[in-house]
Structure 1
Amino acid sequence: QFAEGPLLDGLYWEESYNNHTTLTSQNSNSSHIYYENLLLGVAQIRQLKVHNNSCSIYPYFQDLLEDCYSEYRYQVEDRSEFGLKSDSEWQYTLGSSLSPWYWGSMGFYSSGGYRFTLPKSKQESLEKLEFLRENNWLTRGTRIVFIDFSTYNANVNLFCIVRLVVEFPATGGAHTSSHTYSVKLLRYVKNYDYFLASCEITFCLFIIVFIIQEVIKIRKLKKNYFKNAWNYLDLLLLVVSILAIAFNIYRTIAVSTLMEGLLSDPHTYPDFYFLAFWQVLYNNMIAVNVFFAWIKLFKFVSFNKTMIQLSSTLSRCAKDILGFAIMFFIIFFAYAQLGYLVFGLQVEEFSSFQNCIFTQFRIVLGDFNFEAIEAADRILGPIYFITFVFFVFFILLNMFLAIINDTYSEVKADFQMMTTEELQLRDLIKQ
C-alpha cells in the first residue's frame, strides 16, 4: 500500500506552483519533487531473502510446522530464481564491489539482491507494482526491502540521496527506517568554489613538501625516527591526507561518469548511494585529520612551563592510573553484566551489553532514568543503582582524582625546587 500510494505520489509530481500546468508536460522525462528537486533517473527497489529450512524446528513441532525462515545471515541468503523467473526482478544479481553493505537494526545485509527499477511514468509504475504484488514478489523469506532514489537541487547545488528501508525480522512484523544524504558532488560551480579549488591545490603542494621532509628525516634518523611518538602522528596525518586527495580525485571522475550515463539513458537508476556513503567516510576522515592536526600543536608548545608540568604529571602517574583502570573496569563491567541480565528484557537502555556500558557512563554523568529499572525490578533495581553510584561515583572516581592530584602536587613541588640556572636554560631553549 505504501509503494502504490504515498511512494508514487512523492516520486511523481505532476503539478506546478499554480496547480494547473503539469511539469511532465514540459519534459516527459522529469519529475520535480517539491517543485525544486529534480528526480535523477528512476527509483530502484531491492530485496534480500533467506531460503526455506534455514533454521531448525524442535522435534515436538515438526509435525505442525513445515517451513522455517531464520533471521538474515549471508550464509543463508536465497539466490535462486523464484516466481515467474522470466524478468530480472525474479533473478538474483550481485552487487558492485564498491557498493557498501547495509548495517541495519536486525542484521548486516549484502549489496546484492532481487531488484527492479520503476518506469518514468506514474501509471506504468503503479501497474508494475500491482503485477509484482499479485505474483508474490515479497515472500515469507523476505528480510529487507530497499527503496533508493536520488534528486538534485540546482538552487543550492546539492544532491540528495534517499534510501527507505523496511526490515522484516524473523519474529514477524516490520521495522522501517530512512537515510538521507545531502552531498555536494559537483564541486566547482561558483567563484567561491574555484577559490576552494585553489586552496586544495595549495594543500596538495604542502603535502608534497611534507612528504619530502619526512623522507629526509627518515633517511637521516633511520630507526631512531620511530622512537618518537610525534613522528607516528606525522605519518598518520600524511597517510590520511593522501587518502583524502585520492578520494577527491576519484569522486570527481565517478560523478562525471554517472552523469554521462544518466544523460544518455534517463530510464536507468544512477547509483549515487555508494558515492554518498564514501562521501560520509571522507568527511569522517577529514574530521579525524583536523583533530590530530590540532593535537600536533602540543608538539610546539611543549617547552611551556604549564605544559611541562602537565606532561610530567601524566607520565609519572601512568602506572598508577593503569593499575586503577584495571580495578575500575572489573567493577564497571561486573555491573554492566548485572544490569544486562536483570533488566535486559524490559528496559531498552539495558537491551544489549554495549547499551549497558553506555547507560552506566550516563549514570556517572547524572543522566539516567531510575523509574525504568525500578519498574523492571523493585528489589534489584534500587540495589543496583545505589551500589553502583556508591562504589563507582563516590569511591573509584575520587580515587582517580586523588592519584592525579597527589602526582601534580609532587611535580609542582619539584618545579619550585629548580635552581635559577635550570629555569634560565629552559628559557634559552624556548627562545
Structure 2
Amino acid sequence: MIASTTNYNVKEQEPAADGIQLHDMERFSAMVMCEIKSPVDQGSSPPDSVGTEGHTSESSGNRQKGSLQGMKQELIPYIKTNKGLISNRTECKMYFIFLFVVIIGIFGSTSNMAFWCREHLDDLFVNTKFQDGIKERTFKNLSTITQFWKFAETVMIDSMYRNFQDDTHQAFGCMLQDIKLVGAPRLRQVKGRNGSCIVREAFQRSYRACHDLYSPAKEDKEPFGPGIGTAWTYSTAEELRGSSYRGRFSTYSGGGYYEDLSLNRSETIEKLLTLRNNQWITRGTCAIFLDLTLYSANISTIFIVKLVFENTPRGLLTSYDCKIVKLHQLVTSYDFVVAVCELMFVAFIFLFTAKKRVDVMVFKRKCMESVWDGFGLAILMLGYPIICFRIYSYVVIEPQIIQNISEEKFSNFDSYNWYEEYYNFGVVCLFTCAWPMIFKYAGVREFASLLCRYSMEMFTVLFIFFIIIATYIRMICVP
C-alpha cells in the first residue's frame, strides 16, 4: 500500500532529472531489484516431489517476475523525482552563481568612471559648437569641406590642446585635467582614382573629372600636390600597421595619405594651414580620419578616439568612435574580485564541458533533444572564444599598447578595434543564450514548452512585423 500511494503521488509530478542523474538513478534501481530478488530465490524450501517442484517453481517465478516488474515501475519514478529535484536545485544554484560570475567578470573590468569620461569626450568633440558665418554648427551637422577646416581649426585644436594655468604640461582638459594626450594625433585620408566612372559623351564637357564610389580596387595611390612627404604620397596599410574601417557609407582601407600632428598647439596649427593652402583635400577624397590616443592615470584606462568624415555625393557624413582599454592592475580589492570571477568563469566553462562530454558518451543523441541542451552547447561554443580573447588581451594587446605609446610618435591601435568588435559580439550572444536558461530552473516548464511548440509561428509573425516597420522607417527617413 505504501508503494502504491507513492506511485500515485509521483505520477502527478514531472520527473525533473536529466543527463547523468537519470543514468545513475536507473542503475541504483536495478541494484535495488537485485537485492530484492536474491532472498526470494535462496529462501524457498525444497519441494516434496519432482513434479510439484517444477510446477511450483514456474508459478512462483512468474509471480515474482510480475511483482518485481511492478515494483521497478514504482521505484524508478520515485527515485527519479526526488533525487532529480535535489540535483535540479543544485544545478540551479550553480547556474545563478555562473550568471553572477559572468556579469562581474566581463562587465566589471571597466569602471563607471571610464564611461563617465567617455561621455565627457563625446561632449568635448561632438557637441561643442563653433561659429560658421551667422550659424552655429557642431561635429554632427558638418556638410562641406570648408566647414571641416573650420571645425579642425577651432573645436579640434581647442579640445586637444587646452591649457590650464596650474599645469604647464599639455593636458587634454577633461575629468579634472587627468586625461592626457599620448602620442601625436594623426590626420589621414583615402582617395578615389580619377576616371574610375564612365561619363557619356554628351556630358563629357561638363565633367572634367569623375570619381566613383570608394572601393579598394578604385583607390588612388598616386602622389599629388607637392609630392613630397607622407601627406602627399601613398602609404599602404602594412606600412601604417592599420586595418580597414567600416564607416556609415563604405568600408575603407587602413592605408592612405597621412600627416602626424604635434603635441604642440602652434606646430599643429601650422601643419593644418599648410595642408589647407596646398589643397590636401580634393574632389577625390573619400574619407578623412583623425586618430587620437588618450590616457587617464587615476583609472588606468586608455581611450582610442577616431573621428571620421566621409565625403559622399550628398556631402560630409560624420561619425565618432571611442574605444576603452582597461589596463589590468591588481591594486584595489575590487580588482581582485574581478580577477577571481574571470578565473571562475574559466572553471565553469571547463565544468560544463566535462558534464556535456559525459552526457554525450552515455546518452548519445538523446542529450541534444531538449532546447536547453542547445542553449548549453551555445554557451560552451561562445565561452571558449571569449576566454581566448581575454588571454590574448592580457598577453599581447595590453603589453603592445604600453610598449607602443610614445610621447612624440603616433600609436596605431586599429587592429584592437577589430578584436573588440568580435569580442563584444560574442559577449552579446553569450548573454542572449545564458539568460533564457533561467526558465529551465524557474518552474515555468509549461510556458517554455508552449513557446518552443509555437516558435515557428511566433518567428513568422515577428518577421512580418519587422518587414513592415523597416519599410515604414525607410519611407519616412529617405526622401
State whether TM-score is above 0.5.
yes
Deviations 1:171-194 (A, max 9, x none): 4x3232322334424354422112
Q: Give the deviation of 1:321 after TM superposition.
A: 5.7
Mark the CA change 1:150 to 1:334 in structure 2 (over 3 Å): closer, same or farther. closer
Q: Report the counterpart of residue 173 of structure 2 in structure 1.
A: 33
Indicate if the aligned counterparts of 1:51 and 1:69 stay in contact, CA closer than 8 A: yes
**Corresponding letter in the other structure for 1:76:** K
Superposed, 1:12-411 pairs within 5 Å as 12-13=161-162, 15-16=163-164, 19=165, 21-24=166-169, 30-34=170-174, 35-95=177-237, 101-171=244-314, 173-252=315-394, 253-262=396-405, 265-276=406-417, 278-279=419-420, 281-301=422-442, 304=443, 306-308=444-446, 310-314=447-451, 317=454, 325=461, 329=464, 333=467, 344=475, 347-348=476-477, 350=478
**Corresponding letter in the other structure for 2:445:** M
Indicate if the aligned counterparts of 1:70 and 1:170 stay in contact, CA closer than 8 A: no
Alpha-carbon distance in structure 2 between the residues aligned to 1:89 and 1:157: 33
Alpha-carbon distance in structure 1 between the residues aligned to 2:214 and 2:329: 39
Mark the CA change 1:98 to 1:268 in structure 2 (over 3 Å): closer, same or farther. closer
**Corresponding letter in the other structure for 2:221:** R
Q: Report the counterpart of residue 8 of structure 1 in structure 2.
A: 157
Partner of 1:208, secondary structure, is: helix
Alpha-carbon distance in structure 2 between the residues aligned to 1:160 and 1:227: 46
Alpha-carbon distance in structure 2 between the residues aligned to 1:117 and 1:170: 28
Q: Number of paired residues?
A: 326
Q: Give the deviation of 1:167 after TM superposition.
A: 1.5
Mark the CA change 1:199 to 1:311 in structure 2 (over 3 Å): closer, same or farther. closer
Task: State the structure with more CA Rg.
Answer: 2
Alpha-carbon distance in structure 2 between the residues aligned to 1:68 and 1:210: 59
Alpha-carbon distance in structure 2 between the residues aligned to 1:41 and 1:160: 12
Mark the CA change 1:107 to 1:88 in structure 2 (over 3 Å): closer, same or farther. same
Deviations 1:75-105 (A, max 9, x none): 3221233233332222323336995533323
Higher RCO (CA-CA < 8 Å; seq separation 6+): 2
Indicate if the aligned counterparts of 1:33 and 1:39 stay in contact, CA closer than 8 A: no
Alignment root-mean-square deviation, CA = 3.1
Deviations 1:333-358 (A, max 9, x none): 58976x68xx84xx32x56xxxxxxx
Alpha-carbon distance in structure 2 between the residues aligned to 1:184 and 1:279: 12
Indicate if the aligned counterparts of 1:144 and 1:167 stay in contact, CA closer than 8 A: yes
Mark the CA change 1:69 to 1:270 in structure 2 (over 3 Å): closer, same or farther. same
Alpha-carbon distance in structure 1 between the residues aligned to 2:342 and 2:456: 44
Alpha-carbon distance in structure 2 between the residues aligned to 1:279 and 1:335: 30
Indicate if the aligned counterparts of 2:191 and 2:287 stay in contact, CA closer than 8 A: yes
**Corresponding letter in the other structure for 1:125:** T
Unaligned ranges ≥5, structure 2? 1-149
> TM-score by structure 2 length?
0.60
Partner of 2:304, secondary structure, is: strand
